[in-house]
Amino acid sequence: MRAARLIKMVLLLQSRPVMTAAELARELEVSERTVTRDAQALSEAGVPVYADRGRAGGYRLVGGYRTRLTGLARGEAEALFLSGVPGALREMGLEDAASAARLKVSAALLPSLRDAPDTAAQRFHLDAPAWFREPEPPALLPVLAEAVWGDDRVLARYRRGEGTVERRLEPYGLVLKAGVWYLCARVSGSGSFRTYRIDRFTAVDRLGEGFDRDPEFDLPGFWAEQAERFARSILRAEVVVRLSPEGVRRLPHAVDPLAARAALAEPGAPDAAGRVTVTLPVESEEVAHEQLTALGPEAEVLAPPALRERFAADAARAAALYHRGDG
């Protein structure tokens, strides 16, 4: 445990010019007194950790000291090579850079861990796109990836409805969702953050103007918020459904997970057969018909009347098929 903490301390000091005892304590999740003892232990072991005294002081490594990655356990080394998505890196034009980085990391590993890239690749593989489609990477993705890495403003034109809109954007991050690429960007001059489908861009020009990133912006958090907002925005209608216990179990697999959670959060009291009545948010009656059909007799639509009648007609047609007796 302590050995892993000492290695992490050295790597932290390699990545920053100087760190205070409080900063190290926070990163290592220990007390400042433990940081002092660990720094002393590293110094005695030959790692040149130097402590600057005073209010502006802290800990730093002397003489550009660098450590090889000899402290990695096998599991840590293998996990390191799971962090990249080869297809996504290739589409962004970063495959060569990623390959060079992996080679450098491999060279720094102990000889006993040099097979970590192969063992990881043969055990875990991420295939991001959805089934039954061969997505074509957007032609403008590489230039946007370069702008994201360089914190460069772009002048972008994209399709909206029947026309084309032009915006000066500050590209903050890229997201790959089910094979579709999105750009999260701040509109220059407005301060508002928006999300754009990259395949709808018709032109992107880098302006050669840098921008200062908002240090409070959190890409995963922003995307999660936007995704939930979008999911809620399309659930414009409601369906009242009576579900069997099996229907309750299968509902999250048949409809949008957000809708299922909302419906099952406050179910009605179970009847004698254990069935519960829920109000399910749906995109439309048409979509609800398609989704709830998958539940078969485990779901009974109570409202709206038109949708109930449609399911009743489906049931009558199915009953007629199975009672013809010509099978």
The tens digit of pLDDT for each residue in 301-313 reads: 999 999 999 999 9
* Mean pLDDT across the chain: 83
The tens digit of pLDDT for each residue in 237-268 reads: 999 999 999 999 999 999 988 899 999 998 88
- Reported as a pLDDT band with limits 50, 70 and 90, residue 14 is confident
23-32, 52-61, 193-202: range with lowest mean pLDDT: 52-61
Angle CA(267)–CA(270)–CA(275) in degrees, nearest 5? 90
Residue type (1 letter), 209: E
Angle CA(54)–CA(56)–CA(62) in degrees, nearest 5? 90
100-114, 133-147, 238-252, 281-295: range with lowest mean pLDDT: 100-114
The tens digit of pLDDT for each residue in 77-126 reads: 555 555 556 666 666 666 665 665 565 566 566 566 667 666 666 666 66
Q: Which tokens is 42 given?
A: 């590293």
The tens digit of pLDDT for each residue in 44-87 reads: 888 888 888 766 678 988 876 766 655 556 666 555 555 556 66
Instruction: Considering only residues 81 and 298, tell me which one the structure prediction assigns the higher pLDDT.
Output: 298
pLDDT on residue 292: 95
DSSP 262-307: HHHHSPPPP-TTS-EEEEEEES-HHHHHHHHHTTGGGEEEEESHHH
- Reported as a pLDDT band with limits 50, 70 and 90, residue 41 is confident
